[in-house]
Structure 1
Amino acid sequence: MVVSLLEMLRSGGYILYARHGQANVGIDQPTVNFYDCATQRNLSEIGRNQAIYYGRIFRALQIPISFPVLTSPYCRTIETGALAFGSQNIQVDPFLMEIQNLNGNLSDPEKSRILNNLQSFLEVEPPNGTNRVIVAHSFPKGVGLGSIPYMGTVIVKPKGPGNGYEVIGRLSFSDFYKLATTK
């Protein structure tokens, strides 16, 4: 199955939603300042290495990507995207910070609003022959795309605006690494 998944990714048409690299340096302050990384959790050295290798793996596997790669405004997602794909190839999308908010104490209407926006976001097909990469956050278990390990990737097939999306598969960082070293 993994080999056929690789061929599908090489053909394009998917959204690759990745969680940022390992981030266990610092803590998210109650009032995060997106321009001050000292107010939030940041990538560890392991997380930085994961991000670098993640980008190398995409290039080694010849998976076509449409740029820019979208990230949330948190320093850990921006740094992950920049290390993997180059800082000139990333774009911050403020909506993606709302994924992190799902882990907090939100009202049901607020959770529904975020999940509805996520659905609309994941329905949009990337440019022909490419894949869109998003670097953001994990979800609470059973919500949205579910729990995602550091540098794990959920492969989503958009069905077009108003038509939903389908989760095709999930790859951990080690799954991607194995693909690159056995191709």
Structure 2
Amino acid sequence: MNSSLLDLLRGGGYILYVRHGEATVGVDQPYLNFQYCFTQRNLSELGRRQAIYYGEILRNLRIPIGYPILTSPFCRTIETAQLAFGRENVQIDPFWIEIYRLSGYLSGGEQRRILDIFRSRLEIKLPLGSNRVIIAHSFPDGIGLGQIPNMGTVVVNPRGQGNGFEIVHRLSLADFASLLS
């Protein structure tokens, strides 16, 4: 990442769409219940360290963040947000479950419905001076924002309602960390 992108982020007005930290191996249970983390894949120890580090990096780079941080209701996304930004700064938004659902078997119409709502949420212009952070899930390859690595960030520039959005940059956790040196 170069200094011009860092300058843009410091100016604010962007959406940082972040995939949660590394989760434990396995699958979410068929009887998944958002109230019970044991029915889900959860953050591994590495995932917890990644989340803490992510928050430290953004603070050290002086990238302004607007609160609340939005997350899907999965324990792994909530914990990622809480470790990076503080428990009091997190708001669960049930819509982000829909991104997780895109990896399942959906009709074309259902997939389009989800992607249309997703696009409308990423089009909303933000005030300068802060950036919005959404911590949720990766997408299937070639859909939405595509594959995102653990703690990867897609920097999105909202163009305004009905005008779409632009993907400005894709960053791994290592890309962010390299700016600290």
CA deviations 1:52-103 (Å, max 9, x no partner) are 0000001000000110000000000000000000010010000001100000
Match of 1:66, SS state, is coil
Distance in 1 separating the partners of 2:71 and 2:125: 17
Q: CA deviation at 1:17?
A: 0.2
Where do 5+ consecutive residues of structure 2 fail to align?
none
Partner of 2:165: 165
Distance in 2 separating the partners of 1:133 and 1:144: 17
Relative to the length of structure 2, the TM-score reads 0.98
Distance in 2 separating the partners of 1:25 and 1:108: 29
Partner of 2:96: 96
Partner of 1:30: 30
Partner of 1:117: 117
Distance in 2 separating the partners of 1:39 and 1:107: 26
Partner of 1:67: 67
1:135 counterpart letter in structure 2: I
Match of 1:65, SS state, is coil
Q: CA deviation at 1:124?
A: 1.1
Contact 1:26 1:42 in 2 (8 A): no
Identity value in percent? 62
Distance in 2 separating the partners of 1:143 and 1:26: 23
Where do 5+ consecutive residues of structure 1 fail to align?
none
Distance in 2 separating the partners of 1:87 and 1:147: 27
Partner of 1:178: 178
Partner of 2:17: 17
Contact 1:13 1:157 in 2 (8 A): yes
Q: CA deviation at 1:7?
A: 0.7
Distance in 1 separating the partners of 2:179 and 2:31: 40
1:150 counterpart letter in structure 2: N
Relative to the length of structure 1, the TM-score reads 0.96
Q: How many residues align?
A: 181
Q: CA deviation at 1:24?
A: 1.6
Distance in 2 separating the partners of 1:56 and 1:23: 20
Distance in 1 separating the partners of 2:107 and 2:26: 27
Q: CA deviation at 1:26?
A: 5.0
Query: Is 2:132 the partner of 1:132?
Result: yes
Q: CA deviation at 1:129?
A: 1.1
Partner of 2:58: 58
